[in-house]
């Protein structure tokens, strides 16, 4: 039986990633040093997640 996911479940992770990305976009504008590092990590997250999901190669 196929379980239909609710909108909340579908959009929970994307929402978190969007918020993290937004923090990353703003952070490097605010300051240098650590602020830049936060930005690299936060905006690097979507790239990292993409690679993780593609390379995991687990059949659905």
Partner 1 sequence: MTATTKSLRRWGAVHKWTSLICTLFMLLLCITGLPLIFHDEIDDLLHNQVKPAEAPAGTPPANLDHLLAHALAQAPGKVPHFLIWDRDEPGAMWVSVGPTIDADPTNNLLIRMDTHTGAYLDSPDVTGRFTYIMLKLHTDMFAGLPGKLFLGLMGILFCVAIISGIVVYAPSMRKLRFGAYRAQRTRAVRWLDVHNLAGILLVAWTLVVGFTGVINTWADLVLKMWQFGQLAEMTAQYKDRPVPSKLTSLNGAIEVARHAVPGMTPSFVAFPGTLFSSKSHYAVFLHGDTPLTSRLLKPALIDAEAGTLTDSRDMPWYVSTLYVSQPLHFGDYGGMPLKIVWALLDILTIFILVTGVHLWMRRRGTGVSQERAIANAASIDSPALMS
Asked if 8 touches partner 1 (CB under 8 A), the answer is no
1 counts as binding partner 1 under rule CB under 8 A: no
CA 33 from centre of chain = 22
Gap between the Cα atoms of 25 and 20, Å rounded: 9
Q: Is 14 in the site for partner 1 (CB under 8 A)?
A: yes
Rounded CA-CA distance 26/43 in Å is: 10
Binding site for partner 1 (CB under 8 A): 2-5, 7, 10-14, 17-19, 21-22, 25, 28-32, 35-36, 39-40, 43-44, 46-47, 49-50, 52-54, 56-60
């Amino acid at each position: 039986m196929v379980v239909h996911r609710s909108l909340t479940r579908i959009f929970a992770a994307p929402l978190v990633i969007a918020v993290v990305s937004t923090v990353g976009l703003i952070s490097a504008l605010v300051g240098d040093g650590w602020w830049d590092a936060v930005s690299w990590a936060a905006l690097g997250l979507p790239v990292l997640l993409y690679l993780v999901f593609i390379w995991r190669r687990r059949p659905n």
